[in-house]
A and B are shown apart, each in its own frame.
Chain A
């Protein structure tokens, strides 16, 4: 019994330590992200890495998600003669939910891992210490640009992903389910509100922040050697994916009230 309480106590203390460590890291990251000097070249490089190079992955994911969504909703709604709502269901699902979450998870896998591996390698090869000795704050030079770029790029990726996802649904609706093109398009726009898009964009910004933050946090605190960097990479992807799902519910609940 004592062993059980001891284990629980140790677990609780570790959780408190981790929470404190992440909170401190967030505070430092936010502070140095908005404090001059800004490393424009670094921010631009990260925007290209996170935004431009993630576009094919996000585009393909949302395209096929939109296509399968149209197919599945048609199959389900046909059972109670509500096939007409397929276009509306596709556009609302993609803009409010699927676009941001799928883009967030795909970018977490691609970019979260890459950020953690890069910063983790810099940690174990003393490059972060070298930055300090060269009068450069690692938080400002490494962490800030990645968080800024993640927060800027995800909403743009999601907006593009939304269009591609809706287009995927349109392709299936027109060429496979044989809807009338103009009716499908009018149904798509009829019930779509600006708030639906805004919700998706806000979620995307939060997800982008989480991906940048978790990648940097785990890389910055990477253990020694190749094993340490490997663990940091895995932890970055797992923690950002879980936090994205939690944040998705929280933002949705706050937005809906």
Chain B
């Protein structure tokens, strides 16, 4: 775990548990992230990384444990408190999750327009400004998500996440399905955005090149628990066979010795 005794951690998840039916996905999941830190959560497919992220932001309700933001417990909050909490987060989803029926400028300024009355012209100006900072042409704002490539959609998703200048940014596999060059560009954009905002960042990634590029700290999730957490500099010298296998992409080892992937595809939880 990352420790900083002088400060209250920005994010403090302790012994979080979450099951779908009889399948435990998170089983004593604990993670500390300090303010301004960029942490990458790694782990095999189906290990529960996205579930951990959704529990943190309140899209899923944990079965047990504690989740604190700036020292304040978030589990058991009422709807209004939860909505106030969400305003402090920006999140991108694995497949972008851009709103198909809205043009890019409305996607990017969606939250801003919920908060304050912006004219169409003001919204477009703001969207244009953010979109150009992320290396896209200003004309893109008039297009719809289906008209963009995968890489462009990821950039727009980042634009939407950072538009309201959140304190905490969550990225769920921001470079999955992209070529190495576009991945590098997206990682640069994440780094620049995070540095500009001074945000605390939690990123889920399978891509070790991305992890090396954007992480200060790395945590590995296995069987519902964090089995290692430390500086990115130490990732090749953990002495933990599971971490070693994952980091080096070895097909044989403890991660593949039995079927550890936990299926939670039958989840049917709604949160309203």
* A binding-site residues for B, Cβ under 8 Å: 28, 118, 121-122, 125-127, 129-139, 220-221, 223-224
Contact = CB atoms under 8 A, between A and B. Distances in A.
Contacts of B86: 132-135
Contact of B114 (A28, A127, A136, A223): A136
Given A126-B97, A127-B97, A135 B270 contact: no
Q: Of B265, B268, B270, which is in contact with the most chain A CB atoms at under 10 Å from its CB?
A: B270
B93 to A, nearest CB: 4
Contacts of B110: 134, 136
Contacts of B234: none
Given A133-B89, A134-B114, 11 more contacts: A125-B97, A126-B97, A129-B54, A129-B93, A130-B99, A132-B59, A132-B86, A134-B111, A136-B114, A139-B272, A224-B265
A134 to B, nearest CB: 4
Interface in B91-142: 91, 93-95, 97-101, 110-111, 114-115
Interface of B: 54, 57, 59, 83, 86-87, 89-91, 93-95, 97-101, 110-111, 114-115, 160, 265, 268, 270-272
A121 B90 CA distance: 22
A135 B112 CA distance: 10
Nearest first, the 5 A-B pairs at minimum CB distance are: A130-B97, A126-B97, A126-B93, A134-B111, A133-B91
A28 B271 CA distance: 12
Contacts of B87: 135
B111 A135 contact: yes
Nearest to A222: B268
Contacts of A122: 99-100
Nearest to B99: A127
> What secondary structure prevails in chain A residues at the interface with B?
helix
B256 to A, nearest CB: 25
Q: Of A132, A137, A139, A224, which is in contact with the most chain B CB atoms at under 10 Å from its CB?
A: A132
Contacts of A133: 57, 59, 86, 89-91
A129 B269 CA distance: 11
A234 to B, nearest CB: 18
7 contacts: A122-B99, A129-B97, A130-B91, A130-B93, A136-B110, A221-B270, A224-B265
A125 B145 CA distance: 13
Contacts of A130: 91, 93, 97-99
Contacts of B111: 134-136
Contacts of A131: 99
B60 to A, nearest CB: 9
Nearest to B112: A134
A135 B93 contact: no
Contacts of A224: 265
Q: Of A126, A131, A133, A221, which is in contact with the most chain B CB atoms at under 10 Å from its CB?
A: A133
Contact of B94 (A121, A126, A137, A139): A126
B59 A125 contact: no
A130 B100 CA distance: 12
Contacts of B91: 130, 133
B272 A126 contact: no
A242 B268 CA distance: 25
Contact of B100 (A127, A137, A138, A223): A127
Contacts of B93: 126, 129-130
A119 to B, nearest CB: 11
A122 B93 CA distance: 13
A160 B91 CA distance: 47
Contacts of B270: 220-221
Contact of B95 (A126, A136, A220): A126
Contacts of B265: 224
Contact of A135 (B83, B95, B271, B272): B83
